[in-house]
Amino acid sequence: MPELPEVETVRRTLARLVVGKTIEGVTVRLSRIVQRPDDTAAFEAMLEGRTIREIGRRGKFLRIVLDGLVLVSHLRMEGRYGVYKADEPVEPHTHVVFSFTDGTELRYKDVRQFGTMHLFQPGEDLASPPLSKLGLEPLDEAFTFAAFRGAVAGKTTKVKPLLLNQEYIAGLGNIYVDEALHRAGIHPERPMQSLKRSELEALHSAIVATLKEAVDAGGSSIKSYVNGQGEMGMFQQQLSAYGREGRPCYTCGGPIVKTKVGGRGTHFCPHCQPIRRSRTR
């Protein structure tokens, strides 16, 4: 599933490609993609004649801001947006087509068919599910150490499942949680309440640094992720823990181990990320 860096990369790409374009018509080919309103004909009619003013993001969700409406889109497992000329062949698994007045189209393709679209009045989107349930935005200036500590400190939940919970921090997924924990030297099964202030500071810094580096690299092309122009991200070449089972840790040389934490495949270094905090560290 695309995580924050991948969605941010798609946002930046679409901002260059479709902002300022006016929708001439919308065709929904798979009704279950549209969650709100529940009538796809109404969805199509409401968007007709609207101009895209901004492409935003909240966690793993895209916010397509139009005249008088906001379209909230989640890519889920394999959703992709692409911009095409109207006369180009429509690829299989293309479920929603936004036709623009300039003869181009924004097409949403989703092999797994898990993606969702919600249409809201401006301001209503942030106050309603799914966005209203999201926690701190880790690339915002408001994501200070104090805010992070206030959200997670003292929780009895293991560190990794808590970081994956979107109600605490929005946008983190399996790849970047593993990477941030490895960078911070924290075992994924440590209870959050066991972390000392210095460890929380290290984790906060690791989350921000990992996400910023991933965004700069265009995300990680694990499995089938591509951005809105069909380009692959390159951060997978910089991964230190995720997907490196049995390979040497870049810090200590010991093998990266894979296990399951909270039902999710988890990669870490037992030496650099001990389960118990050493008194001498």
Q: What is the pLDDT of residues 111-163, one digit of tens each?
A: 999 999 999 999 999 999 999 999 999 999 999 999 999 999 999 999 999 99
Helix (H) or strand (E) holding 177: helix 174-184
Rounded average pLDDT over 35-44 = 97
279 is catalytic: no
d(CA 145, CA 14): 31
Q: Which of 21, 60, 160, 190 is catalytic?
A: 60
Per-residue pLDDT at 235: 47
Query: Quick check: helix, strand or coil at residue 52?
Result: strand
Phi, psi values for residue 141, rounded to 5°:
-65, -25
For the stretch 49-68, pLDDT in tens is 999 999 999 999 999 999 99
Res 194 pLDDT > 90? yes
Query: Residues 76, 264, 270, 274: which is the catalytic one?
Result: 264
Q: What are the pLDDT digits (tens) for 72-83?
A: 999 998 899 999
User: With bands split at pLDDT 50, 70 and 90, how would you rate the model's confidence at 236?
Assistant: low
Residue type, 197: R
Residue 158 has which token pair? 């293991």
Contact 107, 84 (CB under 8 A): yes
What gap in Å lies between CA 121 and CA 73, rounded to an integer?
Answer: 14
Asked whether the predicted pLDDT for residue 219 surpasses 70, the reply is: no
Residue 225 has a pLDDT of 43
Identify the active-site residue in 3, 8, 78, 105.
Answer: 3
pLDDT category, 217, cuts 50, 70, 90? confident
Name 73's Cβ contacts closer than 8 Å, sequence gap at least 6. Answer: 61, 62, 64, 79, 108, 115, 116, 117, 118
pLDDT value of position 277: 58
pLDDT at 224: 43
pLDDT at 276: 75
Residue 175 in 3-state DSSP? helix
Rounded to whole angstroms, the Cα distance separating 202 from 277 reads 14
Percent of the chain with pLDDT over 70: 91
Model confidence at 70: pLDDT above 90: yes
Mean residue pLDDT of the chain comes to 92
Q: What pLDDT score was predicted for residue 238? A: 73
Place of tokens 């300022």: 20
pLDDT at 234: 43
Beta bridge partners of 98: 26, 106
Written as one string, the DSSP assignment of 123-188 is TTTTTSTTGGG--B-TTSTT--HHHHHHHHTT--SBHHHHHH-TTTBSS--HHHHHHHHHHHT--T
Q: What's the confidence (pLDDT) of residue 218?
A: 74
60 catalytic? Reply is: yes
CA distances from 164 to 23, 170, 171 (A): 36, 8, 8
